[in-house]
Amino acid sequence: MRRIAVGLLLGWLLTFAWADGLREARLNVRGEVLELTPPALWDGRELWLPVQHLEPLGFPLEVNAHAIRLLTMPPDQPTAHIPLETKRGMSCVPVRDLTRRLGGYTRWDEPSQTLTLLARLQEARLEGDMLSLKTSLPVAWRTFKLENPNRLVIDLAGCALPEVPIPLPPPSERVQAVRVGQFDPNTVRIVLEMEVPHAAPENGLHREWQIALTPAMPIPTAAEPPDTSPIMVGEAHPEEPAPEPFQIPALQRVSQGVVQLSVPTPEGARPRVQFLENPLRITLDVPGYLQEAVEQVIGDPDLFVRTMRAVPIENGMVRLVLELSRSVGAQILSGKTGVTLHLRAPRNTGGKLSEKVIVIDPGHGGAQAGARWREGKTVIEEKTIVLAIALHVAELLSREGAKVILTRAEDKAVGLYERTALANSANAHFFISIHCDSNPRPNSASGTTIYYHKDDADSRALGQAILNEIVKVSGLPSRGVRSDSVLYQSGLAVLRTSTMPAVLIEVGYLNHAFDRAKLVQPAFQKRIAEAIVRGLKAHVEGL
């Protein structure tokens, strides 16, 4: 009887803990997932962090018994103070709110239950031989050198580009050019082309700092005394030879318009391949040994690749990065001894955008509202937002001289198969469907996703070109270009039944407060439309 009572009590306690709506979560800061005890707690909208874990964040703040004060803001400002809340008996701070107030942003990943914190790059300024950098939150940064041409590279871990691009320093006598880009989802890369790259210091953790681009004068030091330590005599043990370093493989033309890259791998290895944007890249993670990053510039535009980099990553792996000169149709073939990548110009590209027929498909319509969100008496509907974006896209394409067909130009219902039948009968070159996303848990997902059908390389290339432009202006996280097979085994109807390259764009999440605030803005809708057209034009004309 006592065992039954104890079991019921434990069950009641577990039920009570589950009923508070909180889940244990992880925190990714500057590319490192923190192991926290007690853990952070996720309520579906906000991450609650016990105050004892604030120090690793490195944020400029002051903690007292009931609130924290942001030291970068005047103390008399209400926004400078964030009250602490008790969660499961612990004093906690809302991390998303804190990060937003400090000028950064956060990205929640549902599968891994991880919140990533990212700073924004705010300033990059050259003053003589000094590079001054500023970010909204502290970032872990490091410098390294590359050759051919000579460059100084500064990687900012835990950082993202700002919504509005910052002005870059003009060329100077010492620095011939400056480039800034999003190297990976968590890292901003700054590249300075210099005849003699130099940096002091070479790494650090800051939100505002300077890097000297010329070496300081050496300080005279006393001569070191001779080494008088005894010579040890014993049995010689030959050192094991170091493994052969990873070599960047050569790009080869294998037929008219097709370029091949073959990367040897141990038998049974499964290389990881990613398609990334801003700039357009393909990455392959393969087993290999490499002490430091190496890079090779490709001078032939017909090879589709601008540069190739090999970078050591964890667990004895090397990341091979192909920075593309244009969007490409890519086919990946894995064998027992390696992986082969075939690159080619995607179907229906070449020529001018003005020569193309493009179908623009605003999702839903009429009684089919799509995603909906109610705020008081106001109801926000997906069908209205996507129609506004689509009309802007159609107008801009018409100005380019392209022939544009809208599946609907007003609030009316159109069948799924009617949409693609219209595109197929018009022999359209491209089909672009525009939507807003939603999911069962409000504020749990944010950002732009573009879907293509199954393993269609041409549609994937189209989606990557468009997403490359959207992420530059949206201020929303990129959720990548994905196969529609992750949603349904047969894929999405409008993509499955299109005979031309086709993509479906989920611009943002209507049930996420940050995304929704942007989606309803006419200026944002116009920026997204302009980005779609720029991406499509770059895809067609190989820009």
Residue matched to tokens 């001054």: 132
The DSSP secondary structure of 201-227, one letter per residue, reads S-EEEEEEEEEESSPPPPPP-PPPPP-
pLDDT at 205 over 50: yes
- What is the overall mean pLDDT for the chain? 86
Q: How many other CB atoms are found less than 10 A from the CB of residue 447?
A: 21
H or E element that contains 169: none
Higher local confidence (pLDDT), 3 or 187:
187
**357-362 and 430-437 strand pairing:** parallel
What is the share, in percent, of the chain residues with pLDDT greater than 70? 91
Q: Which of 22-31, 50-59, 355-364 has the lowest mean pLDDT?
A: 50-59
Domains of the chain: 19-115 (no CATH), 119-212 (2.60.40.3500), 251-344 (2.60.40.3500), 353-541 (3.40.630.40)
Query: Number of C-alpha atoms within 13 angstroms, CB side, residue 426?
Result: 21
* Highest mean pLDDT: which range of 192-201, 327-336, 429-438: 429-438
pLDDT at 194 over 90: no
H or E element that contains 392: helix 382-400
**What is the model's pLDDT at position 19?**
58
Measured CA to CA, the distance from residue 161 to residue 30 in angstroms comes to 14
Measured CA to CA, the distance from residue 373 to residue 375 in angstroms comes to 7
pLDDT per residue as tens digits for the range 43-90: 888 999 999 888 878 888 888 878 888 887 777 777 788 889 999 889
